Structure 1
């Protein structure tokens, strides 16, 4: 029987990666949209050439890889440039994800994506799990983890779906407002529940 697909999402600093890692440790096939978005812009891939054509050589690091920081800076200040980039990358990322999900052998597979709702990737899933965290914790965790100023984190939060919007699409919500132990126990509970589902529905 073909595995059904769970979409796993959450804002920056919500703990979705920690939740994903625990699902993965229990043997669930995992596809990370962030990884897919890195693969499609690797040196030699057409997407990277298109980005350099549009934004110039400043988009490349000395080793020929994409200069993510420079690109991020460029698109966060311009709505138009961000849209152009999304139109280029989203179809390529989607194809990468579809190919990878097709290799799943666990009863269900997980697509982890910070932009699950915004990019329409939730249409590839049968069920959506949102890892939800109060905004002040998102800010604290991200500033500590990435060592970036508060304004930058706020800009990213603004570009991502608003919490209410994300929660509207959720079939399940995992509230991550305590420690890692607490998070992992919730993941284990959800995993048991998911194993009982057919096609993602009770």
Structure 2
């Protein structure tokens, strides 16, 4: 099974691109979705997070208060490393289970969507990396609009990731998402046709 890592910066449009590939028939595993699954009540990772950061990161119903946890880890690199030390192994295990199920089902190509594919050092999980790219100014504007952030808050979130220009250089394929939704869709369709559909066994 060919596993394509799909990554980019925050608010670069990874999820939009992944949904388009999914609509065309691709199998998609989303690391953000896995990250939500592994911190559900009853999961070992949530118990470890509470042990490390205290009850203040929980909502009254026992679910994770993402905003409270986010405030702690965005401001403190050591706290972020502690959190990643808990969540990354849990996400890795869940990802491997899902990839194995796809492999057993005879899936030819799967996308693994992960915002921190390079930062977390998990490129070994995929065979090649595709990067959804936009320039820094567009990224700041989209992030401010999407999450209702000030420019300063948007910049601090962007600063916690590898710069887009570096990611762009590391991608086997770069999907340029500086333009409209239609432009993104056209690129995805072309890549699907040229890179996936036409490369299936027995074609060409």
What band does the TM-score fall into relative to the shorter chain? over 0.9
- What CA distance in whole angstroms lies between the structure 2 residues aligned with 1:153 and 1:124? 29
- What CA distance in whole angstroms lies between the structure 1 residues aligned with 2:199 and 2:76? 43
How far is 1:24 from its partner? 0.4
Aligned partner of 1:86 in structure 2 is 84
Confirm whether residue 22 of structure 1 aligns to residue 20 of structure 2: yes
- What CA distance in whole angstroms lies between the structure 1 residues aligned with 2:199 and 2:171? 16
Aligned partner of 1:70 in structure 2 is 68
Aligned partner of 2:126 in structure 1 is 125
**Alpha carbons 1:36, 1:93 under 8 Å: kept:** yes
**Alpha carbons 1:6, 1:127 under 8 Å: kept:** yes
How far is 1:110 from its partner? 0.2
How far is 1:64 from its partner? 1.0
1:100-179 maps to which residues of 2 (within 5 A)?
A: 100-104=98-102, 105-179=106-180
Structure 2 counterpart of 1:61, from 59, 84, 92: 59
RMSD: 1.5
- What CA distance in whole angstroms lies between the structure 2 residues aligned with 1:125 and 1:188? 21
How far is 1:193 from its partner? 2.0
**Alpha carbons 1:27, 1:106 under 8 Å: kept:** no
Per the normalisation by structure 2, the TM-score is: 0.92
1:3-18 maps to which residues of 2 (within 5 A)?
A: 3-18=1-16
Structure 1 counterpart of 2:47, from 28, 46, 49: 49
- What CA distance in whole angstroms lies between the structure 1 residues aligned with 2:165 and 2:146? 25
**Alpha carbons 1:11, 1:157 under 8 Å: kept:** yes
Q: Secondary structure at the match of 1:86?
A: helix
Per the normalisation by structure 1, the TM-score is: 0.93
Q: What are the Cα deviations for residues 37-85 of structure 1, in whole angstroms up to 9, with x where unaligned?
A: 1111110111111111221111001221101111111011111111111
Q: Which runs of 4+ in 1 moved over 3 A?
A: 196-199
- Number of equivalenced pairs: 197
Unpaired segments ≥5 residues, structure 2 = none
